Structure 1
Amino acid sequence: MSDHSVLTVIGKDRIGIVAEVATLLAEYHINILNISQQLMEDFFTMIILVDTEACSISRAEMLTILAEEGKKRALDMRLQDEALFQAMYRI
């Protein structure tokens, strides 16, 4: 995995979403560098900048886990390399 990635999380608002996502990231040694969250009507949205340098699994495995855990928790979780966002701002 590259060192920095952006994780987006979207779902129906409920208690414990931030704790669930933070715990999941910690299990794989992914550090939260910055976090932004917002409520949009009944929907919870969160954007997290993470450091994946110490991640204990491959990027492909992490993407699979996030997809599976997102389904279990009724959340859409997407992990994208920070370089993608940097490139968008250069255009």
Structure 2
Amino acid sequence: MRAVLTVVGQDRVGIVAGVSQALAELKFNIVDMSQTIMEGNFTMMLVCELPATKMDFESVRNQLSKLGQQLGVQIRIQREEIFDAMYKI
């Protein structure tokens, strides 16, 4: 399964490191990543492959949300098929 992760907030040191460390601990593989900083605002979008083991997606969502609070950013994760369906033109 794949997921799309978005990270948004004020730029500061450690955002990329914190998010990538958490994803590594969850055994997520980052397959694509884009980030930008505009006028001090940080945005990052990642496409990740999730491990084949069964995992509680809601638990992962909560973990990443808590991490976002610690890092001072908003982190959201969605299954790729849901993300694609929502943003398909």
Verify same fold: TM over 0.5. yes
Count residues with an aligned counterpart: 88
Q: How has the CA–CA distance of structure 1 residues 23 and 37 changed in structure 2, closer, same or farther, with 3 Å as cutoff? A: same
The equivalent of 2:18 in structure 1 is: 20
Q: Of 52, 65, 68, which aligns to 1:67?
A: 65
Q: Which runs of 5+ in 2 are unaligned?
A: none
Q: How does 1:36-75 map to 2 (within 5 A)?
A: 36-54=34-52, 57-75=55-73
CA distances 1:43-86 after superposition (whole Å, capped 9, x unpaired): 11000000013467410110110111111111100001110232
Identity %: 38
RMSD: 1.6
Question: Runs of 4 or more off by more than 6 Å in structure 1?
Answer: none
Rounded Cα–Cα distance in structure 2 between residues aligned with 1:67 and 1:42: 21
Instruction: Report the equivalent of 1:10.
Output: 8
Question: How far, CA to CA, are the matches of 2:29 and 2:79 in structure 1?
Answer: 14
Q: Give the TM-score normalised by the residue count of structure 2.
A: 0.88
Q: In the alignment, residue 84 of structure 1 is paired with which amino acid? A: I
Letter of the 1:45 counterpart = T
- TM-score for both structures, normalised by structure 1: 0.87
What residue in structure 2 maps to residue 83 of structure 1?
A: 81
